[in-house]
Amino acid sequence: MNDYTIKYKSNLNVVYSCKYHVIWCPKYRRSVLVKGVDVRLKEIIQDVATEYKCEILELE
């Protein structure tokens, strides 16, 4: 079990906990997240999560 507590969201008649695990593998496993690209990608992911009111548990 992880260090964070399990949080449930609810609607009028539904209680749920929805989680996604996303893995990104570039073609031929080349290093493409270099020279600040990784920092910018994390910023974009944070912005999109804020826009859609999502919670990011871990980002590496």
The tens-digit pLDDT sequence of the chain (60 residues) is 455 566 787 888 899 888 888 887 878 777 888 888 889 999 999 999 999 888 888 888
At 5 the pLDDT is 67
* Cα–Cα dist 5/58, whole Å: 13
* Cα–Cα dist 58/45, whole Å: 11
At 2 the pLDDT is 52
At 1 the pLDDT is 47
Q: How far is CA 51 from the centre of its chain?
A: 13
Only one residue has tokens 């073609």, namely 27
- How many CB atoms neighbour CB 53 within 10 A? 6
- Measured CA angle at 32 (ends 37, 26), to 5 deg: 125
